[in-house]
Structure 1
Amino acid sequence: MRKIEIEKPKLEAAFAVACGNTRTVLLALFGEDAVKPEKPDYSDYRNIKTYEDACAALGVDPINETDESLNDLITRGIIAPRHIALMKLETISRALWGKDFEPIPDAEGNKIYYFPWFYLYTQSEIDNMDDEERGALLSANADGGAFAGFGCLHASIRSSYSSAYIGFRLCQETGEKAVYFGKQFIKLWAEYLGYKFTVGDHLK
């Protein structure tokens, strides 16, 4: 009898597109552990690469952007796409902290948190930079009730001055995580802050 060998990645790919009885047969032949890909270790924040990864890490359902009621709210101008982007960023931020993370108030005010910053330069300035210096400043100002929220950002005087207020939901406990949060999810940040531009590969 001739032995047939199938590489696990190819078996996983076949199972992913299979349906009905085909899936049943594959499960019977190879077992669930063989046909289903291993779940990433989301305790390592670097494995959270997409909004969907963040939802999987937290065990929550992603926002259904095809939902008619949601689209109706957008059409009526009650919410905007940037609000959805903010909700996604908040979910990602929680996932990067860790599923079991519980914030503990710091009465002394000594705890430092880190927030992604983005810089905007002219084309000539960018042309004179090396790859590590390149980026984009997304400048936004929120007043009134927005200051009491958990995602407001304020920047002024171009890239020479910036500050953030009560931005805990979008902050991280280390600078390394904040950099990852900003670079990996730069398109969502751009959508949230209302800036439309093409994100280059140099930011990844």
Structure 2
Amino acid sequence: MRENKELKITTANYEAAYAMADDNTRKILATLVGDNDTTATPARPAPSLSDYTTIRSYEDACEALGIEPILNKSLLVRDGEGIADLFTLPKHIVAQMKLEIICKALWGGENKCQPTADGSKVWWYPVLALWTPSEIAGMEDEQRKALLSARASPGAGAGFGFLLANGRSSWTSARGAFRLCLDTEEKAEYFGKQFVELWAEAYAYNFTVGGHLE
């Protein structure tokens, strides 16, 4: 038998870990400290526009903004003034709409992301990857190089020929997602990691979203 060693967990550390954990991890934390379903657990901070880390779900964002989470319902596109239902909104469109609501809450209630003519403002956008570090480590050099791309156009498009690699996995553009930018790098990183399943659902194409992605 292994020798039991004492592991001390302070209340502050436990509450900090609990606030950041998902439901499954909270059950593990409860088991570690001897809690059961009837014992008290640290109160989860109420969703607040003044603290973006309290926004942990689409429902939290709606609560903080004071709106109803209507995107959880089945949404139908109707035929103008008629009563005919044309089609149900695709899941990826609903996911995109949820991300916009969440982004608004992370901003603190109002998305203030606006372009500036002189480029004096910097906005942050989460960059997502479909490859895990272990998968990349196992690639051949040529495969790994294929994940990266760069574009210099039209300046480099002179003469008889030029190289152009556009739209590869590492390529991103604010033109396509400017409304999902945030004002700090920390918020953008949180946006990408905390809501990774929702991002994957919004951009899913021929792959399955399941479990918490790392």
Q: Classify the TM-score, shorter chain.
A: 0.5 to 0.7
Partner of 2:195: 185
Match of 1:157 among 168, 172, 183: 168
Counterpart amino acid of residue 202 in structure 2: Y
Partner of 2:208: 197
Match of 1:98 among 88, 108, 111: 108
Name the structure where helix makes up a greater proportion of residues. Answer: 1
Whole-angstrom distance in 1 between the partners of 2:73 and 2:193: 27
Counterpart amino acid of residue 197 in structure 1: T
Counterpart amino acid of residue 49 in structure 1: R
**Superposition deviation, residue 101 in structure 1:** 5.6
Going from structure 1 to structure 2, the CA distance change for 1:76 and 1:127 (only over 3 Å counts) comes to farther
Maintained 8 Å contact 1:65/1:71: no
Secondary structure, in 3 states, of the residue corresponding to 2:172?
strand
Matches within 5 A, 1:167-182: 167-182=177-192
Going from structure 1 to structure 2, the CA distance change for 1:104 and 1:162 (only over 3 Å counts) comes to closer
How many positions carry a matched residue from both structures?
Answer: 140
**Superposition deviation, residue 125 in structure 1:** 2.4
User: TM-score by structure 1 length?
Assistant: 0.55
Partner of 1:108: 118
Whole-angstrom distance in 2 between the partners of 1:169 and 1:89: 10
Deviations 1:27-55 (A, max 9, x none): xxxxxxxxxx8734431100000101000
Whole-angstrom distance in 2 between the partners of 1:186 and 1:168: 18
Whole-angstrom distance in 2 between the partners of 1:157 and 1:170: 20
Partner of 2:59: 52
Deviations 1:44-70 (A, max 9, x none): 100000101000111111125334xx2
Partner of 1:120: 130
Partner of 2:69: 62
Going from structure 1 to structure 2, the CA distance change for 1:79 and 1:40 (only over 3 Å counts) comes to closer
Gaps in structure 1 of 5+ consecutive residues: 1-36, 129-136, 138-154
Going from structure 1 to structure 2, the CA distance change for 1:101 and 1:90 (only over 3 Å counts) comes to closer
Gaps in structure 2 of 5+ consecutive residues: 1-43, 79-84, 139-146, 148-165
Match of 1:82 among 92, 100, 104: 92
Secondary structure, in 3 states, of the residue corresponding to 1:158?
coil
Deviations 1:70-110 (A, max 9, x none): 2577x954631111101100000000000256556634232
User: TM-score by structure 2 length?
Assistant: 0.53
